[in-house]
């Protein structure tokens, strides 16, 4: 699904643009997804698991999202570079049509600049326009930076699934599930 671009100003006064991801972003997004997977343990994949992604696969994904009425994929562009992305999706089945799922990732160098807050604000506006009543997300236990952002934007924890993630160092983490009423 496409939406109107939104210009924002980051905390350091740098201009940025929230816009729909485009098929021509595929190569940059493949590099971005691999790089961000290596910047923190709180991404759901490791870089080597994403290394097999092809530009063609990402192009097909991006075209599918653009054509879908129930999915939006947003990128934040700063000085021509993709700084982060987020997605919002809902299930069109009537029993669960009121719920949406969100996800967000940023390059580490863009943390703490207001991008995450702005992305959530845009996703909330889109979700309300779709008639959604609640949004849901999951994050890897221990991601305190993420938790702070999610709580700041109105999400509340409702459950923790223990032992949900096995990390490469042999440790395990739970999956923290959060919900936000719109």
pLDDT in tens, 128-166: 999 999 999 999 999 999 999 999 999 999 999 999 999
Average pLDDT over the chain, rounded to an integer: 96
Measured CA to CA, the distance from residue 96 to residue 20 in angstroms comes to 25
Is 6-137 a domain of CATH 1.10.260.40? no
Indicate the length of the chain as a whole number.
Answer: 182
By CB neighbour count within 10 A (0-12 exposed, 13-18 middle, 19+ buried), where does 139 fall? Answer: buried
| Domain range annotation of the chain | 6-137
Instruction: Please report the pLDDT score of residue 24 as a whole number.
Output: 96
Separation between Cα atoms, residue 127 and residue 134, nearest integer Å: 8
* Mean pLDDT of the 89-94 span: 95
pLDDT digits (tens, 9 = 90+) for 22-37: 999 999 999 999 999 9
């Amino acid at each position: 699904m496409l939406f109107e671009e939104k210009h924002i100003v980051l905390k350091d006064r740098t201009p940025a643009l929230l816009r729909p991801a485009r098929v021509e972003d595929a190569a940059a997004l493949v590099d971005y997804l691999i790089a961000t997977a290596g910047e923190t343990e709180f991404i759901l994949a490791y870089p080597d698991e994403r290394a097999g992604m092809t530009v063609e696969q990402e192009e097909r994904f991006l075209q599918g999202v653009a054509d879908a009425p129930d999915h939006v994929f947003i990128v934040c562009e700063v000085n021509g570079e993709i700084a982060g992305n987020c997605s919002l999706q809902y299930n069109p089945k009537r029993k669960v049509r009121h719920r949406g799922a969100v996800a967000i990732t940023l390059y580490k160098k863009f943390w703490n600049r207001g991008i995450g807050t702005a992305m959530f604000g845009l996703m909330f506006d889109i979700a309300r326009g779709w008639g959604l009543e609640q949004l849901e997300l999951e994050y890897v236990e221990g991601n305190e930076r993420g938790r702070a952002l999610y709580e700041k934007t109105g999400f509340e924890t409702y459950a923790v699934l223990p032992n949900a993630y096995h990390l490469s160092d042999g440790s395990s983490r739970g999956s923290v599930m959060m919900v936000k009423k719109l």
